[in-house]
């Protein structure tokens, strides 16, 4: 990708523009996945304030929590409770980077990206959104090489948040059969082919 004009979705998704707001119900995925500096909470660790009703400090919750927006709850991800993060296995967030809107997808549990329903939904979403995938237990970011390049140029990524270019391999019928990933080895980048849908 040569410049910012190669990606053409400069849309910012906001709650005020969302189609419909849904109830969290018993889902606390965001309270486990996201880090919250105000309460010294790390990524992929349950928040100390999770309770049976949801959040024990909801009325005084940190600004980071108030500002965070679940794309399913906001109505941007269609579907009923079966697509709620704690039911589907992935959580969605729209995040604007350098004026561009990206759909960040986080695994709620290990290997959630391998689920048939998740693969189907991501394939549909990838046709209209710029997807960024975050693997369970880390903030390892996987996406198309041109998106990774754009994120790097806009200050996303660090030793704690590695950016990994990802290209899906499809057969003649359009079925995903594996992926190509680019990994850093010393000062060089090496591309590695990973076969099978169980690796997505």
b/e string for 162-195 if b means 16 or more Cβ within 10 A? ebbbbeebeeeeeebebbebeeeeeeeeeeeeee
* Total count of domains within the chain: 2
47 and 111 belong to one structural domain: no
CA distances from 155 to 83, 152, 158, 170, 190 (A): 31, 5, 9, 31, 22
Cα–Cα dist 127/14, whole Å: 20
Query: 97: part of which helix (H) or strand (E)?
Result: strand 90-97
| Residue numbers of the domain that contains 84 | 69-162
Average pLDDT rounded to a whole number, residues 102-128: 89
Q: What confidence tens digit (pLDDT) does each residue in 43-58 have?
A: 899 999 999 888 999 8
115 and 140 belong to one structural domain: yes
The reply to whether 198 falls in a domain is no
Q: What confidence tens digit (pLDDT) does each residue in 148-181 have?
A: 888 888 888 765 566 666 555 555 565 656 655 5
104 and 131 belong to one structural domain: yes
């Amino acid at each position: 990708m040569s410049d910012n004009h190669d990606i053409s979705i400069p849309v910012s998704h906001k709650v005020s523009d969302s189609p419909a707001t849904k109830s969290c119900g018993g889902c606390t995925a965001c309270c486990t996945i996201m880090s919250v500096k105000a309460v010294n909470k790390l990524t992929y660790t349950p928040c100390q304030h999770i309770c049976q009703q949801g959040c024990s400090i909801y009325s005084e919750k940190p600004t980071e929590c108030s500002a965070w927006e679940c794309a399913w709850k906001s109505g941007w991800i269609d579907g009923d409770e079966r697509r709620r993060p704690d039911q589907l296995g992935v959580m969605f967030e729209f995040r604007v980077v350098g004026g561009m809107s990206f759909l960040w997808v986080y695994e709620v549990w290990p290997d959630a990206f391998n689920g048939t329903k998740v693969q189907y939904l991501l394939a549909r979403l990838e046709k209209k959104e710029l997807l960024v995938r975050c693997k369970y237990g880390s903030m390892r970011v996987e996406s198309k090489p041109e998106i990774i390049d754009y994120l790097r140029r806009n200050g996303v990524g660090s030793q704690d948040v590695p950016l990994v270019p990802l290209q899906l391999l499809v057969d003649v019928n359009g079925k995903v059969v594996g992926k190509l990933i680019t990994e850093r080895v010393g000062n060089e980048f090496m591309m590695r082919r990973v076969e099978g849908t169980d690796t997505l």
